[in-house]
Amino acid sequence: MRNETVQAYPALSMYIGGEFIGADRRDGQSVINPASGAPLGTLPHATREDLDRALAAAAAAFETWRWSSPMDRAAILRKVAGMVRERVETLALNITRDQGKPLAEARIEVAGAADHLEWHAEECRRIYGRVIPARAASVRQTVIRQPIGVCAAFSPWNFPLNQGLRKICAALGAGCTLILKPAEDAPSCMVAIAEMFEEAGLPPGVLNIVWGVPSEISDYLIRSPIVRKVSFTGSVAVGKHLAALAGAHMKRVTMELGGHSPVIVCDDADIERAATLLAAYKGLNAGQVCMSPSRFFVQEGVIDAFSELFVAAYASRTLGDGLDEGTIMGPLAHERRVEAMTAIVEDAVDRGARVMTGGHRPEGPGSFFPPTVLSGVADEATIMREEPFGPVVPLTSFSTIDEVLRRANSVPYGLASYAFTRSLERAHTISTRLEAGMVTINHFGLALPETPLGGVKDSGLGSEGGAETFDAYLHTKFISEQTVE
């Protein structure tokens, strides 16, 4: 049964200098529902003149916003948080239409976005400096932190509201102004957010939202001398390109890039609990999560028991339109992801893997791919070397902790990682030696507003969570004053 609604899909627009610019005034692209392939609306693309207007508006607004009280900035963030909570059903509905995730997951994303707004509203009031004891009684030495300037940010389609708001909260809370280019595949929630910030009283130009060809917009904005900081969430290849471009112009970056998260299931773990939790967590957003567990290492003595339990739990996740009641896993965001899943399954099978469940797209419309489990996957298989970003799970066994740590650390990624064990010694060894920005043991405790979110190696630079979230948006100024009589 479908969660029917009479709500029309919203009109899409850009937001520049406090003005909404719709598709009736610009060329654009169609937004497609991945569950049906049907068009939802038309998204306007920014012209070069639009980008210049956004840059000018952000620069002008910064001259006032940089000196605004943190209390005032916090008040606006809290107002928007309240609006997000009031409009959860509309926001969630349109996220599901855009991106495909089940409505229940979309509601969770909206609630999490409100949490981010509220946390940043409180934390931006705590951007402290310090006093350094001076060597002379007549000297006072202080350190203050000031907003860095106009920022350019680029957010992805898999969590279109949450990821976009992380960047907005950090920039605006720090006193910076922002030009955000969200993902064109899932635009509706960011248009709604612009409307909420305007309703909350945000001055024109502090937040600007543009759409268009990603490579053209990123190149133009990053090269502009007006932009002083770049934030990007997305693929490693694009992140490296943008970081290199920003580095050529001496601009700060925050890069939250792809991962290939190992999960280590030891023979002393609660196997049934691990299998049940991992089946649910891996299925979130059809596996299209940068922190999704994507390389399953199970100790030899329990791999058969774990495989049986995991396959049964994972295969039972109902596939369907995210608006249908009973759907547990929705479609992939677009056809390119379906093609990628098919290719990695074929590669693994060619290298000796066995398909335990799934493996082929179902018949009918939509960009669907079923929960898929592969056993006996070789370390040389593509899925063990590259992030699948989809619902395909490779199972492989290991013998010793030293062995599995070597294999887990063998890829150039280091975002999230997971382990299940009852041993405190093993938990300490694994969490210390895994090369990852985040480690969680026996549960999934990542991506909260108050906790750091970032990776090592090719998985990125900086953090988009926790107390570190404002660091890249502020510069440190040292002041030394001497009293002169």
Catalytic residue among 151, 290, 435, 464: 290
Q: How far apart are CA 56 and CA 53, in angstroms?
A: 5
φ/ψ of 45, rounded to 5, equals -100, 140
Of the candidates 382, 425, 205, the one whose C-alpha atom is nearest the C-alpha of residue 294 is 382
Name the residue with tokens 């992030």.
387
Q: How far apart are CA 215 and CA 238, in angstroms?
A: 9
∠ CA 195-191-104 to the nearest 5 degrees?
Answer: 105
Question: Do residues 391 and 329 touch, judged by C-beta distance below 8 A?
Answer: yes
Indicate if 169 belongs to the active site.
no
> How crowded is the C-beta side of 432, counted as CA atoms within 13 Å?
8
Question: Do residues 294 and 396 touch, judged by C-beta distance below 8 A?
Answer: no
Tell me if residue 399 falls in helix, strand or coil: coil
Q: Tell me whether residue 125 is exposed, middle or buried, using C-beta atoms within 10 angstroms of its C-beta: 0 to 12, 13 to 18, 19 or more.
A: middle
Q: How far apart are CA 184 and CA 165, in angstroms?
A: 16
Q: How far apart are CA 315 and CA 322, in angstroms?
A: 17
Strand partners, 119: none
Indicate if 363 belongs to the active site.
no
Catalytic residue among 105, 184, 256, 464: 256
Q: Return the structure tokens found at 199.
A: 């309703």
Q: Which residues of 52-90 are buried (b: 16+ CB within 10 A; e: fewer)?
A: ebbbbbbbbbbeebeeeebeebbebbbbbbebbbebbeb
Catalytic residues: 256, 290
